[in-house]
Structure 1
Amino acid sequence: MGKIVGFGCLGVLGLFILLGIVVAVVGGDAGDTTSKPPVASQPAGGESAPASKVPEKKVAVAVVAKKAAFKKSIIAQGGAYTTVSVTVTNNSSKPINVNPLYFAITDANGAKYAAELGADENQIATVELAPGENVTGAVTGKGTFTAKSVTYTDGLIGDSVRADVS
């Protein structure tokens, strides 16, 4: 009986070790999607800088955010709202999901605002983007504030991509 219990525990331990190795191998190529490529500066004297020989890495999901006017929907409750127009582009080889719940707006003071569902008539759609596709729509936060950036999270707990609001 002791051997059966011992081998059973050893099997469970081996399974966890194997699972850890698989996760490390599969997740090892994940990079920081919030970093920006380096920008070449122009030297003094008006001369142009030589072109970099390092190819620019294309991000899997690109997010562009711009200030936008709030267009109140019939669902919006009283009060003030701040809206940002967001475009999400799928540059990966796999489909991605876009959902208003996957966005958060950060203001100039660092406070985060969750997206208010149905507040703006132009709310970003809930869609699956095939490779190469993009979608544009509004992401709205409750209250009046100066939007500094928008964060898109691939799924509720996936990788995040941040874009400054222009």
Structure 2
Amino acid sequence: MAGRTVVLWLPLALLLLFVAGCAPAEEEPVSVQPSGPAEVDTSESMLIGLSAERAEGKPSVLSTGQSLSCVRVTVTNSTEKPLEVNPLYFSVTDTEGVRYEGTSALGMYENEIDTTVLAPGEKAEGMFCAEGDFRPTTIAMTSPLLIEIARAEVA
């Protein structure tokens, strides 16, 4: 019986060791870009231009009528590599410091920022909304690995 218990717990222990070893390395915080038009800044910390302004989201045919807080976002790829853009990579923070993801509002509004890959020098524009009635003050964008790569104040 003891041998069977070890056999059952060994894979779990190995899995836990693997997951613990795969934790992301500590990253330096991303600089917050000021609100206003996206300016191309080629400094090391701002290779991805991100700007956002508050906007009124227009409900789509999929809308369930929930209240949405929206921003019109512009992403500019100033890197030398392709940049993936996806509405799932964005979040907004309100005046209280509460962070909102857009997963509950996907497809609920028109002109949603497209899922695309930007070549160097290209930009994408569109809406990002999160469920709730709040005032967005900051928008953040992550990479496909969910590491924050850009942050900007909402105008």
Same fold (TM over 0.5): yes
Tell whether the 8 Å contact from 1:81 to 1:142 is kept in structure 2 after alignment: yes
In the aligned structure 2, how far is the partner of 1:86 from the partner of 1:142?
17
Q: TM (normalized to structure 2)?
A: 0.71
Q: Structure 1 vs Structure 2: percent identity of aligned residues? A: 36
Equivalent residue in structure 2 for 1:118, among 98, 107, 118: 107
Q: Which structure: greater strand fraction?
A: 2
Aligned residues: 123
- Segments of 4+ in structure 1 off by > 4 A? none
Aligned to 1:138: 127
Q: TM (normalized to structure 1)?
A: 0.67
Aligned pair in 2 of structure 1 residues 35, 81: CA closer, same or farther (>3 Å)? closer
Aligned pair 1:154/2:146, yes or no?
no
Give the unaligned 5+ runs of structure 1. Answer: 1-26, 38-54
- Please provide the CA RMSD for this pair: 2.5
Equivalent residue in structure 2 for 1:64, among 41, 51, 57: 51
Residue 143 of structure 2 aligns with an amino acid whose one-letter code is D
Residue 125 of structure 2 aligns with an amino acid whose one-letter code is T
**Following TM superposition, by how much is the alpha carbon of 1:31 offset from its aligned partner in structure 2, in angstroms?**
5.9
Larger radius of gyration: 1
Aligned pair 1:73/2:60, yes or no?
yes
Task: With a CA cutoff of 8 Å and minimum separation of 6, indicate the structure with the bigger relative contact order.
Answer: 2
**Following TM superposition, by how much is the alpha carbon of 1:156 offset from its aligned partner in structure 2, in angstroms?**
3.9
In the aligned structure 1, how far is the partner of 2:71 from the partner of 2:77?
19
